[in-house]
Structure 1
Amino acid sequence: MSIFRRLAGRKPPRSLPPVLDLSHGDEELRRLRALADAGDWAALRPALAAVPDQAELTWLLNRVSDVEGTEEWLAKAVAERPEDTLALLLSGARQISWAWEARTGARAKHVTEDQWQLFGERLETAEEQLLEVAEREPGWLAPWYFLQVAARGASLGRTVATTRFEAALRRDPEHLGSHQQRLQQLCAKWGGSHEQMHAFARTAMLGAPEGSPLGELVAIAHLEHWLDLPDGEDHAYLTGPAVRSSLREAALRSVLHPAYRRRRDWRSTHNTFAMVLSLADERELAHAVFATLDDVATEWPWYYLGGDEAGNYQVHRDRCAPR
């Protein structure tokens, strides 16, 4: 049996179209998002407090903070019980998501003055709340993860960003989310460069044990580089022999390595590899990754292709299927 057949396991069924799932196929997260949508902090709080792993808790908070409207009941929860550090943490995380909702995904030149003002005000609130959380609970990872996002949005500079990244790593040296935020900070669009971005991604991957999800950083770096190129050059870049070799190495060292173990956020990582491997015409490896997903598509990175994320997933899944 070839390595690709062994890794892929089985072909996903083709009778049903893929599903875009904001809960990433995680039933517990689906329940927590529903509680957040209902404003049921009395039920949501103990569920979050019971999560023992700081990386898992950070991921769950990040996904729950995307639920629209939560800023209203969170403000009341913080006002009624200012000593509740977990409520303050989720509120700070929500202020960041809410800030980006105000800014929108438009390029900076298309963001209005009012949008910039709301963006800044909400990030300022997030900073105040998250720094308070970090002071109260020095061992928590989550505030330092979210403070990295806030620092980039508020353009607080390389020194602040580095300090916050290092603070996160002291609490979890292999935290994928914090490494992803550092990678964004090093992107050309945020004042870095392609060279810095690629060097960081590769160094982080090689510095982690084989089977680590940090191999995803290499895939994300190539996607970011691809996005920065004009039509024509982008395809030539991803399908070039050096990039294809780099992507094969990253996939086989991380999600397709025998030592790899799925963590709570695994579907996002697998979707990233599936997309970039398909775009790079590494179809056999892409199929091996698609076959693990049971046709659950995550919003990121498929929105990079525009239009319908699940539809984009299906197009690339089908083009990589064995003939």
Structure 2
Amino acid sequence: MLLLDQLRPLRTSDAEHSPDLAVLRRVAKAGDWPGVVAHFDGLPPRADHAVAVRVVADVDGAERFLQRAVDTDRDSSLARTLLGVRCVVLGWKARTSAYAANVSPAQWRVFHDHIHRAERLLTDAVAIEPGNAAAWTERIVTARAMGFAPEEARRRYDRAAEHCDVPYTAQAHLIQNLCPKWGGSIKSVQDFARECLKAGKPGTLAGAVVANAHIERAFTDDRLFRIRDYLSRRQVRDEIAAAAARTVLHGDFEQEHGWVRAHSAFAFALYEGGDLPRSAQHFARLGNLMAPYGWEQMSNNWRSDFRHAGRTAGVR
């Protein structure tokens, strides 16, 4: 007999993880610019708006109504942010996830056209509103795409963090910029993650990227047994579990945009490290919600792998 969780589809997008984001996606699909503005106006000023921005940017065809908003409202930082991030999405879609050597010249041209346009729009957005943390957050991504040094990405992160109480999305982006594959080092990745945890308020997502940092360190070796060997080290597992206890498992934690991403990363790192009891705490909170990070890098069958992992941990 199948368990109930096996019958329910996995929900992997941010819009499926929070009811308010599901509403925002419907409004964006309808091309309702006043409705989009109203949604962002209703968000807490210093919350992480970057997740909501991505929900709009992931809507197919959103560039059409967003371009009209940019053309109509010359002073809208929000319109430029959303259209800029939509250009980022379109750029990475054109590039695909293939290795750089397998990306065609035509794909690179389209990618760079979109990324340079995104950078211009996001630069305009922060010129209009210097405290636009979501725009600064996405400029970490454009810095990576344009090959800027990690120091410039860190400058952009600092501006995002200056105007956002819990810049979890910006932290996750900067982790990528600091990786060796983008010109950084594993030491800088792990030092930054620990810095975020130490400085962050307990019971928030600040510092949950400790899990991301260890995942990235594990993935510096593409051999499956080496990945698991690293994550199974006692010191690594204990540091990941301690970060979870201070963030998503803390008694004061309240679900905020990005919570599913954090729990999914913790679940992945602990499960692949063989720590089934502590991974189970994250699977239990996730239910049929999950984010692909980590899981999809490990396997093309990441959806079924996630379900199997939950069952093995004793939750599903």
What TM-score do the two structures reach when normalised by structure 1? 0.89
Q: CA deviation at 1:283?
A: 0.7
Aligned to 2:218: 226
CA shift in 2, pair 1:92/1:175, >3 Å: same
Distance 1:15 1:45 in 2: 38
Matches of 1:124 and 1:44 in 2, distance apart? 25
Number of the residue aligned with 1:73: 65
CA distances 1:176-221 after superposition (whole Å, capped 9, x unpaired): 1111122111111111111221121122212223333233211101
- The equivalences for 1:167-316 within 5 A come to 167-172=159-164, 174-231=166-223, 232-316=225-309
Partners of 1:20 and 1:309 within 8 A in 2? no
Supply the distance in 1 between the matched residues of 2:179 and 2:34 (Cα, whole angstroms): 40
In structure 1, the residue corresponding to 2:287 is in which secondary structure? Answer: coil
Q: Following the alignment from structure 1 to structure 2, what is the Cα–Cα distance between the partners of residues 16 and 251?
A: 29
- Greater relative CO, 1 or 2 (CA 8 Å, sep 6+): 1
**SS, match of residue 296 in structure 1:** coil
- The Cα offsets for residues 79-102 of structure 1, whole Å up to 9 and x where unpaired, read as 233333321221111111111111
CA distance in 1, matches of 2:162, 2:36: 28
Unaligned runs of at least 5 residues, structure 2: none
Query: Given that residues 239 and 280 in structure 1 are in contact (C-alpha distance below 8 angstroms), is that contact kept between their aligned partners in structure 2?
Result: yes
| Structure-2-length-normalised TM-score | 0.91
Range that drifts further, 296-305 or 260-269: 296-305
Partner of 1:144: 136
Is the 1:305–1:312 Cα contact (8 Å) retained in structure 2? no
Q: Greater CA deviation, 292-301 or 313-322?
A: 292-301
| Residue 92 (structure 2) pairs with residue 100 (structure 1) | yes
User: After superposition, where does 1:34-183 map in structure 2 within 5 Å?
Assistant: 34-172=26-164, 174-183=166-175
Structure 2 distance, partners of 1:16, 1:127, is: 43
Partner of 1:3: none
CA distance in 2, matches of 1:127, 1:288: 40
Residues 299-323 of structure 1: CA distance to partner in whole angstroms, max 9, x if unpaired?
Answer: 3343223334432220111110169
Deviation per CA, 1:62-92, whole angstroms, max 9, x where unpaired? 2221222212332233223333332122111
Looking at structure 2, the residues matched to 156 and 285 of structure 1 have their Cα atoms a distance apart, in angstroms, of 38
Query: Aligned pair in 2 of structure 1 residues 124, 205: CA closer, same or farther (>3 Å)?
Result: same
Q: CA RMSD in A?
A: 2.1
User: How far is 1:136 from its partner?
Assistant: 1.0
The answer on whether the counterparts of 1:54 and 1:140 sit within 8 Å (CA) in structure 2 is no
Q: How many residues align?
A: 312
Task: State the percentage of identical aligned residues.
Answer: 28
